[in-house]
A and B are shown apart, each in its own frame.
Chain A
Amino acid sequence: MNDLIVLYLYAAAALFFALGLKLMSEVKTARYGNWSAIVGMVISILATLTAFEIHRVDLLVLAVIVGTIVGTPIALKVPMTAVPQRTAMSHAFGSLAVALVGAAEYYHDAPNVDPFTMAVLSGEMILGFLTFTGSSVAFLKLQALIPGRPFVYPGRVVVSLVNLGLAIAFAVYLVLNPSHSFALPALAALSLLFGFLLVMAIGGADMPTVIAILNSFAGMSAAGLGFVLDNKILIVAGSLDGSSGLVLAIIMSRAMNRSFINILFGAVGGAKEVDAKEVEAHRTVQGYSVDDAATVLSNARKVVFAPGYGMATSQSQHVLKELADVLQARGIDVKYAIHPVAGRMPGHMNVLLAEANVPYDQLYEMERINPLFPETDVAVVVGANDVTNPAARTKPGSPLYGMPILDVDKAKTVIFIKRSLGAGFSGVENELFYNENTMMVFGDAKQVLTELIAALKTK
């Protein structure tokens, strides 16, 4: 009877979780969505506590206190630029928790583990452990504690696949011989190594997709644990998270016109900076002063900003907003063009701009802003590069070809603020630099924007 009540409570929790995601679809209702999910979580935990008797309440309280002490400062202190790192870290925590609990469940049940449960348990642990090391490496790369460029060596893909193959072989062995528990540490070690090698070989700019894929893995491993423990709410929550990561990964990889396989094993991003002088030798770039740019801006009616991750690294989102305020005070229309992979995780650029108090109705997705570029007087590119490169539309030989881009080149004038003539992460030179309607303004983004504001005030 008690079990039945728990199931009803789980059903209610599942409803609150799904409702939470539904409310999350719009800015206006999003905060209710968060609260709905909190209610779901509280119901799930209380229901479980009524059904199972915890013998070591002291350990539980200790763990909850530790979790609160660690989790609270992370949530309240992390700067918005560092949210991708914190997301990678939370995937690492979540997947490690699931993997360890899976291991504990195995040792508790062994050798009485039926083949199906063992198969799910093995798969869940492989995913959990590889997501743990993979997310940890992603964290280190995003936090710039290790170089963001891909770590490549000859035979990399073969080594990775053999490594994964061995982990799966141990999983199969465990399914056939569930009592041979020595295979579990081997499976764990191989999965940990696979996750580590996999993400080490992926460049920093591919992180939005990688984070989404790891998110999906973390969710799927949680759902797997739900099967093993026959816990319905864990299956629901895990598969919601797993499908969320999957959808986001698909959106990200489409925005880069690349397949998952290419992102996971393609090692794009060994970008060598193109020597500025060498480039200038054979083509001319029109370098302009801040004052020139200010004149063009002051005569514009419609301005679109195209920010990229460079804006975040130079911390210039607040100055950009100030510039927008100055322009708007003069009656100039200002919009922001957001490419799906701008930033280091899905939706990152929106959060950075929201933090700088940019109203969200001025943020335009790529599909909405591209038709508006032909009637735009000035497009200002700040800290973005590859996502504005027209070669993606025009040069079939280019590695960028086919990638959807922001069509800034269709604006009457493009002001490109950039430190040097370096190539983007793809290592491809940007065609836009050489266009006649492009004004290159060289310098640090924050400094150039500050000077622009000052110059505009004199006009």
Chain B
Amino acid sequence: MELVSQIYNDLPVNLLIFVLSTFLGIELIRHVSRLLHTPLMSLTNAISSVSFIAALIVMAETTNTNLLTLATIGVALAFTNIVSGFMLTERILRMFRGRPNKEERKAQQ
């Protein structure tokens, strides 16, 4: 029953974190340029794949084969998102360029 009391103790703190992070998220995202909404989605997707560590925690706390299997699948899926999310964001952002400056224009001609 220790588990139960632990969660009730931390619940107010966790709720506070949840509410503040949600408001912070809304404020931050509202100010993201519309130019960048696609790489933004790819980035937030990678960030939320921190669920990777949830799968790690379950892997650590169990020896049951079935549960280990579920957690391992979770690790693989989340890590796929981490890898592809950050790499794709970088790849998209490299495509955004400003107007070529004078020297570059000369080089083109």
Contacts and interface: CB of A to CB of B under 8 A. Distances in A.
A283 to B, nearest CB: 36
Given A75-B83, A238-B48, A244-B41, A94 B4 contact: no
A94 B49 contact: yes
Interface stretch (A54-62, A150-158, A198-206, A296-304): A54-62
Interface stretch (A272-280, A346-354, A415-423): A346-354
A438 interface: no
A247 interface: yes
B45 A91 contact: yes
A243 B33 contact: no
A34 B90 contact: yes
Nearest to B83: A71
A37 to B, nearest CB: 5
Contacts of A346: 34, 37-38, 40-41
Given A54-B59, A347-B40, A74 B84 contact: yes
A359 B99 contact: yes
A100 interface: yes
A340 B34 CA distance: 8
Given A24-B32, A101-B74, A247-B30, A87 B51 contact: no
B102 interface: no
A34 B73 contact: no
Interface string B20-54: 01111110111111111111111111111111111
Do most interface residues of chain A lie in helix, strand or loop, or is the interface mixed? helix
A235 B17 contact: yes
Given A45-B53, A231-B54, A56 B59 contact: yes
B51 A114 contact: no
Interface string A20-35: 1110111100110110
Contact of B34 (A78, A91, A347): A347
A234 to B, nearest CB: 6
Interface stretch (A163-171, A211-219, A375-383): A211-219
Interface stretch (A360-368, A386-394, A396-404, A445-453): A360-368
Contact of B43 (A20, A75, A83, A233): A20
A18 B44 CA distance: 10
Contact of A63 (B13, B75, B98): B75
A236 B28 CA distance: 13
Contact of A38 (B8, B10, B86): B86
Interface in B55-106: 55-64, 66-68, 70-100
Nearest to A350: B35
Contacts of A223: 18, 21
Nearest to A92: B77
Given A67-B82, A235-B14, A247-B26, A345 B41 contact: yes
Contacts of B45: 87, 90-91, 94, 215, 218, 241
A116 B8 contact: yes
Interface string A81-120: 0010011001101101110110111011100101011000
Given A41-B47, A54-B56, A30 B41 contact: no
B84 A365 contact: no
B52 to A, nearest CB: 7
A97 B78 contact: yes
A351 B88 CA distance: 12
A429 to B, nearest CB: 29
B14 A232 contact: yes
A138 B33 CA distance: 25
B88 A25 contact: no
A244 B44 contact: yes
Contact of A354 (B37, B41, B71, B97): B97
Contacts of A345: 37-38, 41
A71 B79 contact: yes
7 contacts: A21-B32, A72-B83, A75-B86, A75-B88, A232-B13, A243-B24, A347-B36
**Lowest 5 CB-CB distances: which A-B pairs, in order?**
A347-B37, A67-B79, A243-B25, A71-B83, A241-B48
Given A30-B93, A41-B49, 16 more contacts: A41-B86, A48-B56, A52-B60, A80-B92, A90-B42, A97-B78, A97-B81, A98-B54, A101-B55, A104-B74, A211-B41, A238-B51, A240-B47, A247-B29, A354-B96, A359-B99
